[in-house]
Homo-oligomer: A and B are copies of this chain.
Amino acid sequence: MVKVERLLVNFKTLEEFKRFKEYGNQELSMVEDLESNIIENDSESPFFGIYYGNALAARMSLYKVNAKYNFYFEPPRDYLELWKLEVLPDHRGKGYGRALVDFAKEMGLPIKTNPRINSHGFWEKMGFEKAKYNMERDLGENPLIWMPSGVSEQDPS
C-alpha cells in the first residue's frame, strides 16, 4: 500500500528536492524563507510525496485555485492546479505517479496541469484530456484537465 503524505518544509525535505528535475524558483524561495525564518521549520508545504523508507521517492505540488480565477471549468468552482509531478528514476514502474494523481482526484475537484513535454501518454492513462487551446489564456502552456462527474469544460473562445 502506497502512502501519500503532505511534505513539511525543513532542510531535509529541501535537500531531497534537489534530486528532482523540476527544481526551480519555488524551491529556492522556500530555502530562503526557511533560512530567514519567514516560514517555520516543519510548516506545511504545497507538496505531497511518497517515501521509500526514509527517502523521498516521488512528489507533486497542489494548489487550490479560487473559483473566481477559474477559466477552465463549468460550473464555476474551485479547482486544483497540479504541477511538478515527478517520480525519481529508481522508483518508476511502482505506481507512484498514479498514486499521487489518485490522491489529488479524491479531493473531488477538477484538476488542471501543464505537463512537461513527452508525458502526455501518462496523463492520458490517468484520464486527463487536452483543454481547448486559447492563446490569450494559455500562452505557452499545454494544459491538460480532468473533471469529476458534474463538471464540464468552459468554452475558452
Contact = CB atoms under 8 A, between A and B. Distances in A.
Interface string A5-43: 000000000000000011011101100000000000000
Contacts of A25: 130-131, 133, 138, 141-143
B133 A29 contact: yes
A77 interface: no
Given A83-B140, A138-B26, A140-B84, A21 B117 contact: yes
Interface residues of A, number: 27
A29 B22 CA distance: 27
Contacts of A142: 24-26
A29 to B, nearest CB: 4
A90 B142 CA distance: 26
Interface of A: 21-22, 24-26, 28-29, 46, 61, 63, 81, 83-84, 114, 117, 130-133, 135-136, 138-143
Given A22-B140, A24-B142, A114-B140, 9 more contacts: A21-B117, A25-B131, A26-B133, A26-B135, A29-B132, A61-B139, A63-B136, A81-B139, A81-B140
